[in-house]
Amino acid sequence: MNAASGSVVMTAREAMRTAMSDAMRDDPRVFLMGEDVGEYGGCFAVSAGMLAEFGPERVRDTPLSESGFVGAGIGAAMAGMRPIVEIMTVNFSLLALDQIVNNAATLRHMSGGQLGVPIVIRMTTGGGRQLAAQHSHSLDGWYAHIPGIKVLAPATVEDFRWMLKPALADPDPVIIFEHGGLYAATGDVPTVDPGLPLDRAVVRRAGRDLAMITFGGTLPTCLAAADELATDGIDAEVIDLRSLRPLDDATILESVARTHRAVVVDEGWRSGGISGEIAARIMEQAFYELDAPVGRVCTLEVPLPYPRHLELAALPSVERIVGAARTTMEGGEFVGATASAAPGRTVPR
């Protein structure tokens, strides 16, 4: 505990556990449900110890049926509860896509505003942990395509701690994507809610030469790339989107107006991804501010490999981000520039 600043150092998984526990102490309507969240403590140890405090009625282990328990969570939300539903990985959420897209996201509209679905769905996302293609993809951008839900992507320990409270207060579905590579990250977290709006992006590193736009697990990679670019005299600004739906256009455009260049970094695939949406919005709203085409660095268009060297080659890396930034600074062409690579259900924690 840092008494002078009113903050505490914790890991991201501890921050989310603290957020869930505080919410359950404050509101008897809040409960957690999902696979292995109880006695096992969550496959990434996020809910470790919560069963002992809150009991099996409020920390509920579910069968291996994403469609079933997400549907149960939607029903509980409609009946007045405030469920937190944990899906082990984003890949498994596809088994509940009908519940999320056709029910949770649409019921307010289809009922003429009579019904809300105040549910929070947490999913682990992202690669870099050698868990192969069925546990490692980044489908965050898919969900950002869907009206009727909010999509959040915490990248800092502070956001892991403080995003959940306003998400639970939202009258509509909120999906929180937690990058598995961030769970062990540590950070200094304020003990009082800073009150940052969920739909607001944050400039994590100020710069004058180009805007580097990212979210979730690629934020640390972008900050490292910005540090390397600084040694060449390139001052990159790094924007943490935090929210993918809605997107904070204003912060992105303000940065582009200052820097006149942009690179979007996304761990999802390039084709049809949210990086293309962000690039299109920049072109539509700030075309005459640009001194170079908008660059993109994404995961290569393959199912994520298991071998460590192949997985790292497929994911956005410091080397690829630095290369894209230098191309942008030179005003070069991006055709193919960001496509080349640099040379059981219970998931291990």
Q: Which residues are catalytic?
A: 66, 135
In which residue are the tokens 């496959």 written?
43
What is the H or E stretch that residue 213 is in? strand 210-214
Give the strands of the sheet with 295-299, arranged side by side: 202-205, 236-240, 210-214, 262-269, 295-299
Helix, strand or coil, per DSSP, at residue 228: helix
Please tell me the distance from the alpha carbon of residue 67 to that of residue 73, in angstroms, as a whole number.
10
Q: How far apart are the first and last CA of the chain?
A: 26
d(CA 160, CA 153): 9
| Nearest residue to 339 via CA among 292, 273, 282, 284 | 273
Write the Ramachandran bin of 131: left for phi over 0, alpha for psi from -120 to 50, otherwise beta: alpha
